[in-house]
Amino acid sequence: MGKYFGTDGFRGEANVTLTVEHAYKVGRFLGYYFSKDRKDRARIVIGKDTRRSSYMFEYSLVAGLTASGADVYLLHVTTTPSVSYVVRSEDFDCGIMITASHNPFYDNGIKIISGTGEKMNGEVENQIESYIDGDFGEIPMATRDKIGRTTDYSAGRNRYIGYLISLATRSFKGKKVGLDCANGSAFAIAKSVFDALGADTHVINCDPDGLNINTDCGSTHIEHLQKYVVENGLDIGFAYDGDADRCQAVDDKGRIITGDLILYVCGAYMKEQGQLTNNTVVTTVMSNLGLYKAFDAIGVNYEKTAVGDKYVYENMVQNGHRIGGEESGHIIFSKYATTGDGILTSLKLMEVMLEKKQPMSKLAEPVHIYPQLLKNVTVPDKKAALEDARVQAAVQKVTEELGDEGRILVRPSGTEPYVRVMVEAATDEICREKVEQVSEVLAAL
């Protein structure tokens, strides 16, 4: 990770750690980078979520891009995966999504998407950081007819809606579906898709005011959708985050269908249909032991990556796998998208329900999710702590004690002075006991 850009873009509190000056400079650099050494102007598309600060960042980016000679196409409020789709399908040089995903409204972020619809490579981000810090040198201003222009491009968002509708294999007629749009980007897209496919669509948290995105709603507060699904007798519910690149579901009994359960339901179905390339599902190291045991039972292989959908996608591309994701609900179907897509994930879950003629509660039943406990332990030096012989001995002891009925994962925080100790076991009591065994050793360093 760089100084400003992490695994999911440049993120921070609006006008505190991420300012309009930052956004302007990002625009200036990208306009220059994609316009240099060519006669025509670069074409860059921008989308944003519903945060109040997204407007000022949009205009700052536009000013920087056009001042460097790029033409800008505005999708307005839309989802991150829609920007990815438009970039790769309509020959744009790159895309920008203004969002802080599941963070509170006062945060915001800038995600840069490459011309292939993937996250921008680190080398370009490093150059942007160098320019922001004044180490890159001056970038020329476009003049006269070289100055870029801005075009309303809401039609691109509508084409994305059409693309999603085209992926459905059956009508949703007769199915009662709940959608929690988190007062975010999904509000402009999700209901239109489900209505067009014939669902009896029930929507909550679909009235953004710039300040209520992710506030006590969406995939990070799914308890409200659980209650709504049960009280209204719905067949299923889907909850999105602020930019709708992740999805978690609620089954007909009100049970949360996490990313791990989504991977199981879709992975098992794809295997049955002969669509599971390499017979493999890609997960991260944080996926639940219960998922792996369920995959073992049906003969599905799996790979584990570092935490982050970026690493999941890299593994999928390198090995040709078709499905992967995170427990948080970032699910990637590489045949249809290059990033996590919450609404697409909803459609694929609907497909399994309709084709199998079974409720989601039945489809997810084979997975027994093990209790999990995560504790952050402050240490003076994360690397030294993980290499300490006493810590390693404590971890090994817990590993042997848990055997096949649990696991322990000890890893450093990427941004804070913590070592994270995670244990999965048969009971909450065992989790607490084993976490404390290792945490006490770490705390004594």
Catalytically active residues, by annotation: 101
Exposure b/e, 46-62, CB count within 10 A at least 16 = b: bbbbbbebbebbbebbb
Residue ranges of the alpha helices (H) in 69-189? Answer: 80-89, 122-132, 154-167
439 labeled binding residue: no
Tell me how far apart the alpha carbons of residues 177 and 237 are, in angstroms, rounded to a whole number.
Answer: 6
Tokens of 366: 């084979």
Residues whose CB falls within 8 Å of the CB of residue 184, separated by 6 or more in sequence, listed in order: 49, 50, 208, 213, 214, 218, 240, 241, 242, 243, 244
Q: Is 388 annotated as a binding residue?
A: no
In angstroms, the CA 21 to CA 6 distance is 19
DSSP state letters, 5-33: EETTEEEEEBTTTB-HHHHHHHHHHHHHH
245 is in an annotated binding site: yes
Q: Any idea which residue has 């402050």 for tokens?
A: 378
The helix or strand, by DSSP H or E, that contains position 350, with its residue range, turns out to be: helix 342-356
Q: What is the token pair recorded at 51?
A: 């945060």
Do residues 109 and 9 make contact, with C-beta atoms less than 8 angstroms apart? yes
The verdict on whether residue 241 carries a ligand-binding annotation is: yes
Kindly report the length of the chain. 445
How far apart (Å, rounded) are the C-alpha atoms in residues 109 and 17?
A: 10
- What span, in angstroms and rounded, lies between the C-alpha atoms of 124 and 109? 17
Kind of pairing, strands 9-13 and 107-113? Answer: antiparallel
CA 71-76-82 angle, 5° bins = 90
CA distances from 18 to 77, 100, 110 (A): 20, 11, 9
- Alpha carbon distance 430, 415 (integer Å): 29
Q: Which residues are annotated as a binding site?
A: 101, 241, 243, 245
Q: Which residues are annotated as a binding site for Mg(2+)?
A: 101, 241, 243, 245
